[in-house]
Structure 1
Amino acid sequence: MAAVLFFSIFFTVSEVLARVDLSRAGICNVAGDDPLTTQSIHVLREEVARRTGIWLPVSVRIDNHAGPTVFLVLETTRLQLPAPLRKALDALPKPSAEGFRIVTQGNDVVVIEGKDARGLLYGIGRLLRKAEMTSGRIVLAGTLHLSSSPKYMVRGHQLGYRPKTNSYDAFTVAGFDQYIRELALFGANSIEIMPSGTDDDSTSRHMKLPAMEMVAAQSRICIKYGLDCWMWYPNIGKGFSDPAKVSRELLVREEVFRNVPKLDAIFVPGGDPGELEPDELFTWLGKVAGVLKKHHPKAKIWVSPQSFKPEKAWFDAFFRHVNSGYPWLGGIVFGPWVKVPVEQIRKIVKPSIPIRNYPDITHSIACQYPEPDWDPAWAMTLGREAINPRPTDEKLFHNAVAPYCIGSISYSEGTNDDVNKFIWSDQDWNPATDVRETLKDYSRLFLGADLADEGALALAALEQNVKGPVLAAAHIDRTLQRWQAMERTASPSLRANPRFQMGLIRAYFDAYIRERSLYEAGLERQAYAALTSSAGSAKSRAQQALAMLRKAWEEPVAAPLKARCLALADSLYRSIGAQLTVARHGAMPGRGNFIDNLDYPLNDAPWLVHELKKTADMDEAGAAKVLDALLNRTYPGKGGTYDHFLSPLSRARVLGRLSREKDPGSLQSPRVSYTVGLPGKDYYEAFPGVTTPVPVVPKAWHTQIEVLYENVLRIACDQLDPGAVYKVRVVYTGRFKSTIRMKTADNILIHDYIKAGLRPEYEFDLPAGAIKNGKVIFEWNCKAGERGLQLAELSLIRVN
């Protein structure tokens, strides 16, 4: 693709007996004294000193460097190098823009040549990533001969200073400076900031500076490190064709653009938030472009086809405008809630119009790239925005979309996705990079040279912890052992290191949730055993079952694991302002406060307790009826079928599921979702140990099979009797609240459009002739312009 930069890489790392020892080295600056070069040298010296205590001396005199030396040079200044060093560099392919070459000679000389000033910074970053730095020592394990150039021209992350984030609003200017520097060391060249007062409050109790002052400071940091500065700037509300509102909004933007010293582009989402029709949107953006140009003449406007009402007419009009040749349009952005797959967008828009990716790397459910087929224990506890290292998943998502884009700036809501940022930057630089290599570099640079391998394994293990059924996940205990082994030998500085703490808290949290899952599953089995017992009355059996279920909070397990989670949450709040609870740390509910979910019920206790309590005021016949309903809730009767879509057997009935490689965002095929979304407060109650009301419904209703937008959900049911009469029972839960229609593949209507969210359960007669050859295929769709549909349970109940 023309929009993608030329890419070449040549890389060998030789493990040799002789190590390259730079402990007594000096820096020879052959790159000049422009501000970015000077800053890059400062980065090298400061990062080395932070880890080793060594301040590398700097000189511009080549003849002063007969011993251990780190030569820093640009392509334009390389002739000043001694001929042997130039020859060694010339043996490697020439890098392209922002690329670099690194060579070592002997056991104490390193040369870093940047194609340009940015390339020098990225070359320094690569040296820091590969160097083993300990107190009083900086060495390389072997020789380096490396030429590397980025494949994608945009490589960055969104760092919004607002309360909605789970930690950024607690950052100081120095904290942002260091974080942006570290992202640059892994190849990032762009930071996306956001103004105050968009879809979030402009203040929070954590903020160290007024929002506008911090946004301006973030822009200055981009200048300092030579990075591009983007701004995410949505349109809030309606009326952007009203002259009075247009004037007010333009004045607000004028103030923002004037106060930000560097701005290379703004990204205006078409929706999420934003409700403008395309004609109004692009007319408005033309006015914004005039204000932007006054203060940042080279800046362009990028826009995404995000829409909460994704009707075909909206997209047709949007892409017509995109292809109209507006001089202010930089390109379009592909991200969450963009209905059209990126490969289709690439065909729709002119080849000259670039696409920038905006991947959601921060959320785990109810998002662009959810965890696939999660155990409900994780959905209910880790939730949407926990600390979530997903290295292999992020590589998969990146490489599926990247070929159609010029690069990416990630959507991030805080430090919970810290590992994912560095994985994504490395993939934007070179999508062939093994994530294990990135994890080793991350661990070596941020946790310590001695933890390069072990830290990488420990971080990778956290991703694997949440794959598959939690009750079968014995590897979670081994993951905790790995982290605890590092914890026992950790220095005080490592114990206080927020990146170490983030991995550690997840290891303890996962182990605690598994212990509780095992315990509560056992209690539920004992409760059901009491209910099915032939001994005693129905009312007494109900009381026995209640007593078993109450043990979960009256006699809790694994208290030391819980205590360690709480202590680490406090430590993370002190170190980086991470807000992992609402009451204690000031988190916004649902925004990273997963520690509030430590004691969320992991079995069917909320529903069972709610139902069993009813028997206290009933006679024996009434109590027996309640128990019978509990025990047979999912039994469809003789000849019937029952499906809930966490079950692999039920998922096998779902037609049209594509692999994540082919459809990573489920824009064309079904996926499992984990949102309850029940109607009204009557479905929720207070529960011991939980800070918010919990659903008093079967746990199966927490999980749905879903399709997005106008996609049709198709489920095949077989082994049916063509001559029998059946009823169809469906349960619609989830957050979409769409208007749903159900029919067969032969166009036999089961029910016309129903507004989901009014009540969960519905029952319908299956029309005669719907079953053919013992099989029926059901189809569901929602109305055009809705976000999709979700189905929790499907039962066919034989009535004759």
Structure 2
Amino acid sequence: MSERTNLFSLILFCILVGGMMPNTMNSQTMDMSTSKIVCFEKKNPLVLKSISVLHEEVVKRTHIQLRVQRKWPTESQPTIVIGLKGQLDKFPQEYQEVLETLPATQVEGYKIAVLPKSKTVLVVGNDPRGVLYGIGNLLRKMEMGAGEILVPVDIQISSSPKYPIRGHQLGYRPKTNSYDAWSASQFDSYIRDLAIFGANSIEIMPPRTDDDFTSVHMQVPVIEMIEEQSKICDSYGMDVWMWYPNLGKDYENSDSVKLEIEERHKIFKALPRLDALFVPGGDPGDLEPDVLFNWLAQEAEVLNKYHPNAKIWVSPQAFRPTKAWFDAFYGHVNKEYSWFGGIVFGPWIKTPIQEIRKRINTGIPIRRYPDITHSLSSQYPIPKWDLAYAITLGRECINPRPTDEKMIHNAIDDYAQGSISYSEGTNDDVNKMIWTAQDWDPNSPVIDALRDYARFFVGNEYTEGVAQGLIALEKNLEGPLLTNESVVRTLQQWQELEKKATPEVLLNFRFQMGLIRAYFDAYQYRRLIYETELEQMARQQLILASKEGSKIAIKKARETLSNAWEVPVMVQWKERCLELADALFNSIGAQLTIEKHFAAAGRGNFIDNIDVPLNDAMWLLDQLGSIEKRENEEVRLEEIDKMLERNNPGPGGFYDNFGSLRSWERVVSHVSRELDPGDLVSPRTGFGVGLKGEEWVHEVTAKGFEGQSTPLAWMNQVTTLYDQPLEIVYNNLDPKSSYKIRVAYTGRFRSRIKMTADDILVHDFIKTGVQPIYEFKIPEDAIKDGDLKLEWTCGEGERGSQVSEIWIIRDDITQKEQ
């Protein structure tokens, strides 16, 4: 097409829409409060359902009934015209010409054009799904209030999704932090919300998973609810996936396999729609590849009896994989069995997606299974997260991370056909919408999706305040909390929204989720400042023990530390958090506490951690209790000094606690986070003590080694996954001195690890999790140039290396001769 033709088309377009240039930014709107819907489609159920969605969502927000008719209006009146691309011959010529000026659409795409001169809005889908997504976008852009519908006049859109798989997992099981409390109508509403934002898939779960069969919240049995979920998805034309782990006793035993087959007949038969089955290779259900794929072939026969076109997708998830396991797994994948759908890339997959793409045949698709729901001990943890947040907000808090989710998505999106997220409840609600927006268009700005989110879910007058407020909540989590003064400012912004909010908005669970995080974050910030100062005061009092006497100093220090709970700060912020936790339970079934809301432990109950100590008070008090029992004053004073000097490596030494960003400066990272968002190559922050048989803990309240509370330093680690080396470098050591290393091995994993210094063995493989502190001599050859490179590696099949503290201690008694 020539430039002259392009120019002519643009001029014609501008005339027809009333002189407005396409995609211009202005605040003009068109009143559509008295409009009617025109649609000629009579049979297609998804198109008719889409019109119902438009009608019902408008009524919900405006109380205006938009009447539907199948003929053009005889008089001039505002009109919303809905149709399929194949029906354009029924449109007036001028409408056809406007639509033709917009770029062509692809599968599931749509065009929206606003014509201010004739007060007309055109929504045309490339196919029935495209109609739904076009209506969804129109709803997101509408400015709706009581008795009022306004449409921006600058909407001229042609949009098609980049990726064909766009969805989220909605598991009806006790482990979720809210879904298990829902009715079928609540699932319908939420699935509709996801569709309005562009999702085309929902993943459900069978009654038997790595969880309890039921919870006190469930209104109906799981088998009934998943049938309803399948029906709901089908009504919106959405694909139904099922996550179905292998939890049988023995998949090589005929009796055990028979029970598994019988269960699947029951489940697959109950579902009116099932398009794909996702079977994880592990986490849970670890099987050797030969056994796994032999079983999948049997499972496929049952699946296709009830759903002939459904395929089975499988993931190479495994907690302790070996090279032999992977070789066998990908060998089966590349055989491309008739029942095989593709590979799923999710948590606990050792191989980066780039390498998976190279290992499998070109035509085999990959689907991502991103963990958007967890903030630590997860596929995509918050980087270098402050410990104060980690032990209070925990693993599954309300976690809007809009800019982070876009980065994670776009880092490796080209290697897959889209994604269905791993979700454990409503805590990741914002992340769901962001991820779907990026699956639709990776170039779309985050702020656009957040404004749509705020406008559609909360209200037009809250658009900018809530959108920016969600970004501010993400900023709250970045860097050291102690110096993040913006946390209080974020609360102030949300409090202003709270004061202006209508009763309906105050009962809106999405508004409640943002508000409770603003109060919670500010409360932890203020507590951290207060408790940090209390600890420093107590330490100062103990430093004076030699003057005042040990027992007097211990008494003063104990009283000072106990002020954290005896004389707490900003109690009103805490009380508002408790009120909002109740409100969320009432509005959406969110379970933020175990005792009151019957949450599953460690699954969203972050309000239980609201007063967890943020300083070393518990460890100090335990130590002081033991010291106080010593009968000799001199011994008591020595023990106090030893306690206070715990982190001192001595003259010429080095100490690092990897909860500190300054210590992280020594950690070697070969790949940027933008290229390795899941830290499969790069080091990451780890949390948890992991001693005395505990694989991991979510907070510091758990008792640690030898029945005493653990120091906070043991809760933080620098971590690498699997057998990826962990490298830490020290410079400017004295080549003429001898050194020893004291190292703390704590953390979630109990792995076999070994340490080398400049490739010289320091210690061979030892099992961590048995004791926290080890001490070794550093080989003299490792420091002959004044630099020291320490490296830790795991044995094959182990889960990772973790180091929480390091002391490099100079031994000045054994200096070498000049």
TM-score (norm 1): 0.96
For residues 126-157 of structure 1, the C-alpha deviation after alignment (integer angstroms, 9 at most, x for no partner) is: 00000100111111233211000000000000
Q: Which of 698, 701, 708 is the equivalent residue of 2:721?
A: 708
Aligned to 1:439: 450
The answer to whether the 8 Å contact 2:757/2:778 transfers is: no
Deviation at 1:469, TM superposition (A): 1.2
Q: Which of 603, 608, 614 is the equivalent residue of 1:596?
A: 608
The answer to whether the 8 Å contact 1:75/1:115 transfers is: yes
Q: Which of 81, 93, 117 is the equivalent residue of 1:71?
A: 81
Report SS of the residue matched to 1:55.
coil
**Matches of 1:539 and 1:641 in 2, distance apart?**
32
For residues 196-237 of structure 1, the C-alpha deviation after alignment (integer angstroms, 9 at most, x for no partner) is: 112111211000110000000000001110000000000015
**Matches of 1:269 and 1:143 in 2, distance apart?**
46
Are 2:560 and 1:570 aligned?
A: no
Q: Which of 364, 373, 391 is the equivalent residue of 1:380?
A: 391
Aligned AA for 1:762?
A: Y
Q: Which of 773, 777, 780 is the equivalent residue of 1:765?
A: 777
Deviation at 1:77, TM superposition (A): 1.0
Report SS of the residue matched to 1:526.
helix
The answer to whether the 8 Å contact 2:62/2:146 transfers is: yes
Matches within 5 A, 1:651-662: 651-662=664-675
The answer to whether the 8 Å contact 2:752/2:767 transfers is: yes
**Matches of 1:220 and 1:692 in 2, distance apart?**
47
Are 2:727 and 1:719 aligned?
A: no
Aligned to 2:763: 751
Q: Which of 22, 35, 42 is the equivalent residue of 1:25?
A: 35
Aligned to 1:5: none
**Matches of 1:238 and 1:758 in 2, distance apart?**
30
Are 2:113 and 1:100 aligned?
A: no
**Matches of 1:768 and 1:238 in 2, distance apart?**
53
Number of corresponding residues: 786
**Matches of 1:680 and 1:193 in 2, distance apart?**
33
Are 2:266 and 1:247 aligned?
A: no
**Matches of 1:254 and 1:84 in 2, distance apart?**
55
Aligned to 2:7: none
For residues 437-466 of structure 1, the C-alpha deviation after alignment (integer angstroms, 9 at most, x for no partner) is: 100000000010101111101111100011
**Matches of 2:624 and 2:74 in 1, distance apart?**
85
Are 2:53 and 1:43 aligned?
A: yes
Report SS of the residue matched to 1:599.
coil
Aligned AA for 1:628?
A: D
**Matches of 2:281 and 2:622 in 1, distance apart?**
44
**Matches of 1:66 and 1:74 in 2, distance apart?**
23
Aligned to 1:7: none
**Matches of 1:119 and 1:503 in 2, distance apart?**
31
Aligned to 1:414: 425
Matches within 5 A, 1:629-668: 629-668=642-681
Aligned to 1:621: 634
Aligned to 1:6: none
Aligned to 1:698: 711
Judging changes above 3 Å, is the alpha-carbon distance between structure 1 residues 65 and 738 closer, same or farther for their aligned structure 2 residues? farther
Gaps of 5+ in 1: 1-9
Matches within 5 A, 1:479-518: 479-518=490-529
Judging changes above 3 Å, is the alpha-carbon distance between structure 1 residues 82 and 667 closer, same or farther for their aligned structure 2 residues? same
The answer to whether the 8 Å contact 2:177/2:424 transfers is: yes
Deviation at 1:293, TM superposition (A): 0.6
For residues 60-98 of structure 1, the C-alpha deviation after alignment (integer angstroms, 9 at most, x for no partner) is: 011446310000010111111111111100000110000
The answer to whether the 8 Å contact 1:163/1:200 transfers is: yes
Which shifted more, 411-420 or 472-481? 472-481
Q: Which of 136, 152, 155 is the equivalent residue of 2:163?
A: 152
Matches within 5 A, 1:347-496: 347-496=358-507
Deviation at 1:767, TM superposition (A): 2.7
For residues 327-368 of structure 1, the C-alpha deviation after alignment (integer angstroms, 9 at most, x for no partner) is: 100000001001000011111101110000000000000000
Aligned to 1:345: 356
Deviation at 1:658, TM superposition (A): 2.4
Report SS of the residue matched to 1:139.
strand
Q: Which of 140, 152, 172 is the equivalent residue of 2:183?
A: 172
**Matches of 2:188 and 2:669 in 1, distance apart?**
47
Report SS of the residue matched to 1:14.
coil
Aligned to 1:734: 747
**Matches of 2:254 and 2:122 in 1, distance apart?**
59
The answer to whether the 8 Å contact 1:523/1:552 transfers is: yes
Report SS of the residue matched to 2:233.
helix
Report SS of the residue matched to 1:770.
helix
Judging changes above 3 Å, is the alpha-carbon distance between structure 1 residues 553 and 18 closer, same or farther for their aligned structure 2 residues? closer
Aligned to 2:95: 85
Report SS of the residue matched to 2:776.
strand
Are 2:174 and 1:163 aligned?
A: yes
Report SS of the residue matched to 1:741.
strand
Deviation at 1:615, TM superposition (A): 2.5
**Matches of 1:679 and 1:749 in 2, distance apart?**
27
The answer to whether the 8 Å contact 1:157/1:411 transfers is: yes
**Matches of 2:237 and 2:145 in 1, distance apart?**
29
**Matches of 1:727 and 1:463 in 2, distance apart?**
41
Identity across the alignment (%): 51
Q: Which of 556, 573, 598 is the equivalent residue of 1:544?
A: 556
Are 2:554 and 1:554 aligned?
A: no
Deviation at 1:680, TM superposition (A): 5.6
**Matches of 1:311 and 1:353 in 2, distance apart?**
23
**Matches of 1:65 and 1:360 in 2, distance apart?**
53
**Matches of 2:589 and 2:336 in 1, distance apart?**
45
TM-score (norm 2): 0.94
Judging changes above 3 Å, is the alpha-carbon distance between structure 1 residues 724 and 583 closer, same or farther for their aligned structure 2 residues? same
**Matches of 2:436 and 2:646 in 1, distance apart?**
49
The answer to whether the 8 Å contact 1:30/1:71 transfers is: no
Gaps of 5+ in 2: 1-12, 14-20, 814-818
**Matches of 1:310 and 1:278 in 2, distance apart?**
11
Judging changes above 3 Å, is the alpha-carbon distance between structure 1 residues 753 and 126 closer, same or farther for their aligned structure 2 residues? same
**Matches of 2:56 and 2:22 in 1, distance apart?**
27
For residues 232-265 of structure 1, the C-alpha deviation after alignment (integer angstroms, 9 at most, x for no partner) is: 0000154111111111101100100000110000
Are 2:127 and 1:116 aligned?
A: yes
Judging changes above 3 Å, is the alpha-carbon distance between structure 1 residues 290 and 252 closer, same or farther for their aligned structure 2 residues? same
The answer to whether the 8 Å contact 1:238/1:276 transfers is: no
Judging changes above 3 Å, is the alpha-carbon distance between structure 1 residues 742 and 18 closer, same or farther for their aligned structure 2 residues? closer
**Matches of 1:310 and 1:79 in 2, distance apart?**
59
The answer to whether the 8 Å contact 2:476/2:486 transfers is: yes
Aligned to 2:4: none
